[in-house]
Structure 1
Amino acid sequence: MKIAFSPCPNDTFVFHAWVHGLIQSAPKLDVTYADIDITNKLATQPNNLDVLKISYAAIPWVLSEYTLLPCGGALGRGCGPLVLTKDHSADPTILSGRRVAVPSERSTAYLLFRLWAAQNVPGGVGEIVVMPFHEIMPAVRDGKLDAGLVIHEARFTYENYQLNLLQDLGNWWEKDTNLPIPLGAIIAHRSLDIAKITNWIRSSVEYAWSNPKASQEYILKHAQEMSIDVAQAHINLYVNEFTRNLGDEGYEAVFSLLGRAANEGLVPAFDLNTLRI
């Protein structure tokens, strides 16, 4: 079975057991490791991938071929994307007409940023520059860009780049909706046995929780020189009960995000009820 997910610690933690043949009856995995911007694009193009990790924001473009799975993804509280600048101002209007780096045009991070900016940045921001998320903070630090939208472990390391937090979009979303924030989703091709894939992923998550040190070597191999402490903080933040099962609250959060985005014309409109299997 062919799968694509990021080399980030939460994904390698979740899929370690399945990748290493530790889930009974699960097929062997052929893994493509790729940043979320790449997997978002792969899901909309002809490919031979069976399962992918993509942004929730990209789901409206892939529903003809793929089904959202109720497990394995990243959704929670206190884990939202951050808007960073070199400026010490807390006034979002400083972004008016400025150049801002984002990790993907179809990422949940960018979708949240657009919803937030529509309310808080008069006239809108200027140029949007898409780049791999690990390149964003150095670019802002070096003055190549005015601001950066960052995800993942940047939450724990941005001060090392002498950058300042302008807005935590997760906090904004949670205050605005009283819901967790949907970040990364797991999708599977509609031609497959969705129930079996869901069970294999859920078993992999549960193995990871029961054997938290078993995956450390695998995680650090793919974690781009990240320390074990930062990798563990990353896992603690993004792997939670929603990773095991979206449940009613998780689906409500997804419906809220994509429903609002569709109403604003930021994603194609679709029947939200088709997301729930």
Structure 2
Amino acid sequence: MKLSLAISPCPNDTFMFDAMLNGRIDTEGLEFEVVFKDIEELNAGLSAAEGVRPHISKASYAVLPQVADRYCALRSGSALGRGNGPLLVAGDESAATDDCSMRIAVPGMHTTANLLMERLFPHLSDKRAYLFSDIPHIVGRGECDAGVLIHEGRFVYRRYGLFLLADLGVEWERATGLPLPLGVIVADRNLPAEVAGTAERVLRRSIAYAFAHPADSLPFVREHAQELDEGVIRNHIEFFVNDYSLDIGPEGAEAVARLLDMPSATLFRA
């Protein structure tokens, strides 16, 4: 059976999916037709009223409540952990988070990064959405006063002369004591249960293979990465792919429920 799959080109996704997309593991008869999109495009594609939606997709945890009638979260494939949150950065070293007039660049209005800004800094309401990889340039040129960096951007902001205002992951952990849920893999609820279950099992097997043979995925990861520096790629994978990616577990599910203020059992595949 062939399934449509939509993921981001970021190293954590390509690292996890490499083995199942490139013939390194048994996919139990499933084939995948993959497209790569920015996270905000992925989120929008799940909630679109028209058009063909993917069978399996990467999404921000923040968008789950809006699409929970159409998609369920898989327990494998999450970007969730500690010390891996989005960073709020500014172009001016004297900038402060109590300045309500700041123009904030965010990587999409439906991203977990934006949801965290709403929770942690609700007074910073002048926000504009940009492609995540453009935000360091936008802030560096002064088109916005500050920006929220995700993916590779959080590792290289100093290259652009930017200054750290807040680590949103640290703020979340300080407030909740829980790991931070960022990204999730979702499956169309119209898929037969056995097919969704097989896809989840294959993904878990793919991630386990990547952990056991990390060098095998590097060509595929580099082919799609925004930043080609191997140190940045390695840091990205180590930050966002971990034991929670294999299985979100009870603590991870509790963190999702806390972030979204709704029971996690209603969101995950039964």
After TM superposition, the score normalised by the length of structure 2 is 0.93
1:88 aligns with 2:86: no
Instruction: For residue 92 of structure 1, report the CA deviation from its aligned partner.
Output: 1.2
Classify the secondary structure of the residue corresponding to 2:182: strand
**Larger CA deviation: 60-69 vs 186-195:** 186-195
Partners of 1:180 and 1:66 lie apart in 2 by 23
**Larger CA deviation: 244-253 vs 43-52:** 43-52
For residues 187-202 of structure 1, the aligned pairs below 5 Å read 187-192=186-191, 193-202=195-204
**1:263 aligned residue:** none
Number of aligned residue pairs: give it: 261
Instruction: For residue 42 of structure 1, report the CA deviation from its aligned partner.
Output: 0.2
Instruction: For residue 217 of structure 1, report the CA deviation from its aligned partner.
Output: 0.6
**2:205 aligned residue:** 203
Contact 2:152 2:226 in 1 (8 A): no
Classify the secondary structure of the residue corresponding to 1:149: strand
Partners of 2:140 and 2:167 lie apart in 1 by 18
Cα distance change, pair 253–126 in 1 and its aligned pair in 2 (3 A): closer
**2:135 aligned residue:** 136
Cα distance change, pair 72–272 in 1 and its aligned pair in 2 (3 A): closer
Segments of 5+ residues of structure 2 without an aligned counterpart are none
**1:42 aligned residue:** 45
Classify the secondary structure of the residue corresponding to 2:47: coil
Instruction: For residue 13 of structure 1, report the CA deviation from its aligned partner.
Output: 0.2
Contact 1:18 1:26 in 2 (8 A): no
Given candidates 250, 262, 267, the residue that maps to 1:248 is: 250
After TM superposition, the score normalised by the length of structure 1 is 0.91
Partners of 2:157 and 2:116 lie apart in 1 by 19
Partners of 2:30 and 2:127 lie apart in 1 by 41
Cα distance change, pair 200–26 in 1 and its aligned pair in 2 (3 A): farther
For residues 259-270 of structure 1, the aligned pairs below 5 Å read 259=261
Q: CA RMSD in A?
A: 1.3
The one-character-per-residue Cα deviations of 1:29-64 (angstroms, maximum 9, x if unpaired) are 111100100000000124241100000000011111
Contact 2:71 2:186 in 1 (8 A): yes
The one-character-per-residue Cα deviations of 1:191-223 (angstroms, maximum 9, x if unpaired) are 222211110100000010111100111100101
1:98 aligns with 2:102: yes
Equivalent position amino acid for 1:19 in 2: L
Given candidates 100, 110, 117, the residue that maps to 1:113 is: 117
The one-character-per-residue Cα deviations of 1:104-150 (angstroms, maximum 9, x if unpaired) are 101000000110113xxxxx225311111110011101111111011
For residues 1-277 of structure 1, the aligned pairs below 5 Å read 1-24=3-26, 25-45=28-48, 46=50, 47-89=52-94, 91-94=96-99, 96-118=100-122, 124-192=123-191, 193-259=195-261, 272-276=264-268, 277=270
Classify the secondary structure of the residue corresponding to 1:125: coil
Equivalent position amino acid for 1:230 in 2: V
Partners of 2:78 and 2:247 lie apart in 1 by 9
Equivalent position amino acid for 2:32 in 1: L
Classify the secondary structure of the residue corresponding to 2:15: helix
Structure 1 segments (4+ residues) deviating >6 Å: none
Segments of 5+ residues of structure 1 without an aligned counterpart are 119-123, 260-269
